[in-house]
Amino acid sequence: MMRAFRIDRYKGELREAHVPEPVVGDHDVLVSVHAAGVNHLDLKLLQGAFKAMLRYELPLTLGHDVAGVVEAVGSAVTGFAVGDEVFARPADFRIGTFAERVAIAEGDVALKPESLSMVEAASLPLVALTAWQALVERAGVGVGSQVLIHGGAGGFGSIAVQLAKHLGAYVATTASGSNSEWLRKLGANEVIDYRSQDFETMLSGYDVVIDGVGGENLEKSLRVLRSGGLAIGLAGPPDPAFASALGLNAGLRLAIGGLSAKVRRQARRLGVDYSFLWMRADGRQLAEIAALVEAGALHPVIGRVFPFADTPVALTAMERGGVRGKVVVAMAG
């Protein structure tokens, strides 16, 4: 048995429990957790936000980011050995990094950047993969692209700003005014104080907007795009392409399509596109991200670090906001 933090029901509490050791498949690596990043996705799962789409069995151990040491490998694993320092975002239905150990598919794991501590490495996988899949894979951002990233001071935004700048984009971001100078040093060309300024009146002709807020913020984001521009929603609403990718039945696909019908109609009227992004685990992409870290192009931003025993407190701290960068849980020692 091992210690873990799990939920017994949606909208319940994140509580410590003793749970069975992970089952290590032929293609899995067993990772001894040294640090785990805390993400809004953990909070959303706790709240039951995706229970219609992600049918997890309860009780459920949360945690989507990990950095640690390989403790065992499956019989078919060829890319990793016991003792390797690694980091990963386990795939959906394989999550559970708020625990002493976690089994992860070999293809979802990458060697930890040598220049980073375990805490720094644990802050990266989910947000860096999300930024990569939005900016590189889906939007094709390059030299001269104009990109608006909402929430630049947050866990995702602080990495996305750096990656967009590395790709050669002109980067605008929204944040509180107190973060303006820091974000410019991070790579933002323009910082808009969301408390006192309206980004819709200040920006126009952008190629890409990445929105993690949704609602009115997303609708306004459509209007700062050039014709043919792309708005990528991280907070939703989910679109039919996402429903199809999940392999959901016709009824659920129709229901999910209805959630985004309004914003997709608005996008069509404006001559722009809307796309919902649900990031996926990908060890190869994570290895490319690790190379950018080692080259000095990406730097983790750690807001607060909590001991493993305080994992529920860490989740609450992230929910309250006001933290620059990521919240991370670290094992003792």
158 with 301: CB under 8 angstroms?
Answer: yes
Any idea what the CATH number is for the domain that residue 322 is in?
3.90.180.10
User: Phi and psi for 139 in degrees, rounded to 5?
Assistant: -95, -15
C-alpha 274/C-alpha 259 separation (Å) is 13
Cα torsion at 86, 166, 194, 262 (round to 10°)? -80
- Mean pLDDT value of segment 9-31: 97
Percent of the chain with pLDDT over 70: 100
149 plus 185 within the same structural domain: yes
Check if the beta carbon of residue 272 is closer than 8 Å to that of residue 77.
no
User: For residue 273, what are the β-bridge partners?
Assistant: 230
How many CB atoms are closer than 10 A to CB 171? 27
Same domain, 322 and 261: no
Do both 133 and 251 map to the same domain? yes
Angle between helices 283-294 and 125-132 (to 10 degrees): 100
Do residues 147 and 78 both lie within one domain?
no
Same domain, 110 and 131: no
- Identify the domain containing residue 176 by its residue range: 126-276
Q: Are 148 and 173 spatial neighbours (Cβ–Cβ below 8 Å)? A: yes
Asked whether residue 23 is assigned to any structural domain, the reply reads: yes
User: pTM value?
Assistant: 0.97
Residue entry with tokens 């750096």: 162
CATH number of domain containing 172? 3.40.50.720
Q: Do 112 and 160 belong to one domain?
A: no
pLDDT at position 321: 87
Beta bridge partners of 99: 4
- CA quadruple 72, 62, 286, 327: dihedral sign: negative
Task: Give residue for tokens 């980067």.
Answer: 171
> Quick check: is 290 in a domain?
no
Whether 119 and 158 map to the same domain: the answer is no
Residue 281 located in a structural domain = no
Q: Judge residue 189's burial from the number of C-beta atoms within 10 Å of its C-beta, 0-12 exposed, 13-18 middle, 19 or more buried.
A: middle
Same domain, 139 and 266: yes
pLDDT digits over 60-111, tens only?
999 999 999 999 999 999 999 999 999 999 999 999 999 999 999 999 999 9
Number of domains in the chain: 2
In a domain, 284, yes or no: no
Q: Report yes or no: 6 and 62 within 8 Å, Cβ to Cβ.
A: yes
Confidence of residue 249 (pLDDT cuts 50, 70, 90): confident
Is 285 within the bounds of a domain? Answer: no
Q: What is the pLDDT of residues 141-190, one digit of tens each?
A: 999 999 999 999 999 999 999 999 999 999 999 999 999 999 999 999 99
Tell me how far apart the alpha carbons of residues 4 and 15 are, in angstroms, rounded to a whole number.
8
283 within some domain:
no
Q: Which of 120, 323, 66 is nearest to 315 (CA)?
A: 323
pLDDT tens for residues 281-328?
999 999 999 999 999 999 999 999 999 999 999 999 999 988 999 999
Residues 265 and 145 in one domain: yes
250: confidence class by pLDDT, cuts 50, 70, 90 = confident
203 and 174 assigned to the same domain? yes
Between strands 101-105 and 28-38, the pairing is antiparallel
Whether 333 has a pLDDT exceeding 60, the answer reads no
**Two structure tokens written together for 44:** 């959303």
Residues 19 and 131 in one domain: no
Each residue of 181-201: pLDDT tens digit? Answer: 999 999 999 999 999 999 999
Asked if 183 and 259 sit in the same domain, the reply is: yes
**Are 90 and 96 spatial neighbours (Cβ–Cβ below 8 Å)?**
yes
- Angstrom distance (rounded) from CA 58 to CA 160: 33
